[in-house]
Amino acid sequence: MEVSHFYNGKPEAGNGRQTGPVINPSTGHKLYDLDYADAATVADAVKHAKIAAAEWASASQARRLQVIFKMRELMLANIDRIAEVTGLENGKTLADAKGEIGRALEALEFATNAAQVSKGEYSLNVGGGIDVYSIRQPVGIVGCIAPFNFPVMVPLMMGSMAIACGNAVIVKPSEKVPGATFLISQLWQEAGLPAGLWNMINGGKEVVDAILEHPDVPAISFVGSTAIGEYIYQKGSAHSKRVAAYTGGKNHMVVMPDADLEAAANAFVSAGYGAASQRCMAISLLLPVGQGTAEKLIELIVPKIKALKVGGYNVENADFGAVISSASKQQVISSIETAIDQGASVIIDGREQQFDGDGFYIGATLLDGVTTEMDMYNVEVFGPVRGIVRVDSLDDAIRVTNSHEYGNGAVIFTRDGESAHRFVVEVKAGMLGVNVAVPVPVGHHNFGGLRRSKFGDAHMFGPDAARFYSDLKTISQRWPEADQKANNLSMAFPSNS
């Protein structure tokens, strides 16, 4: 497979001044070297995108939707191929990759609602024979900076609605996993999207900065770590861009004594360790309320974790695969060591699990006795290490959940409506679950966290996506009758009386 930049409707080899390896995490072996673009390449892509965006903005809604529907058909027809490339470069299992593609299809399906969610409003005769109405028009070019953990879902979550609203997009995928995004680029072209509207530029910080600084890219969407997201938000804002940056999470799962503990245990293991815990909405911390609840949950959870099978992306029945890189594996190991040094106790130690080959594998790890002073509580660990924070009451659970700087997601397992209601009202997180462990909303609801889990006012998915990718104009108009006399000159501020 050859992966390159893709802009103005075709693959572009790049100048090759700087390259980086793309590694198969399941084996640790290099797949190929990827060309990294420079600022000049970004500028060239933007030049073509600007021309294409101007034409696409005037295309009919029916024309745009034809492309969206065709793209969905092509995604379904190529699901095995896309999943294979995703697993090969990311390390996630094929089943997990197909699950990601399913959510990407949901983004395309919601994009077919662009005409509905981007409608304006009309008020007749607000005063003095004046009618007021609003319209939405595409912003032009949207920069989409995507993470390694969802190389299919996130680019399409960002880009589908942008395209449907009449924009061009420039996607910078993670340089670790460009293959799936390259396939998507080819499928957009096959779907009939005019050249220049979907562009993929590979690279690192130089490419990101070039997108952030270019005056013809007015909107930036980002998913990734908090440190980089804050940088992108600040730099993009300094260049007068609208920015939506979706960043880190340390998602808490509260389990009340009255909960279905078997269901809670299954939910924690699945939501905590799926995709080797490399998800921003993964459950990071388990907060059982009461010592009895904690002991019963641990008794249920431990055998489930020990039964998890870790293997290559294409290994049958593997529950999760390798982490993304050797450096990531070392960071995970370091986080375990730090937690032990700071007083946490090990229930299951994934470092002890043995694996064949040179893949970046680490077994599922569970730590008990985690406190809010520990790094294991405060720092997001993108790997299969989860912690237990024991609390005595729902009040304590809410206080601990709200004490964290992140507010991406939080969930409660309970049979009690009052507890659930208090949790939903009082917890400061953007996506909440009641007996739902991964509360990522469906496409027609807004996605996004609170506090330092999101920078900017916009949301991904939902009606807010269409708002982010469009400019609002409000028009006041009067059409006087032919023989109507002009109003007398008045210097007072106009009022609609």
* Strand residues in 333-441 grouped as ranges (E): 345-348, 365-368, 385-388, 406-407, 409-413, 431-434
- Going from the C-alpha of 244 to that of each of 219, 237, 289, 421, the distances in angstroms are 8, 10, 35, 29
Amino acid letter, residue 53: A
Whether 280 is a known active-site residue: answer yes
Three-state DSSP class for residue 277: helix
**221 Cβ contact partners less than 8 Å away, ≥ 6 residues apart:** 142, 143, 144, 145, 158, 162, 243, 244, 245, 458, 460, 468
Which of 34, 49, 52 minimizes the C-alpha distance to 148? 34
Which strand (E) or helix (H) includes residue 168?
strand 168-172
**Tally of CB atoms within 10 A around 100:** 24
Bridge partner list, 243: 220
DSSP 282: S
Which of 394, 406, 20, 56 minimizes the C-alpha distance to 198? 56
Rounded CA separation 484/154 (Å): 56
Rounded CA separation 424/402 (Å): 12
Determine which one of 117, 169, 265, 280 is catalytic: 280
- Catalytic site positions: 280
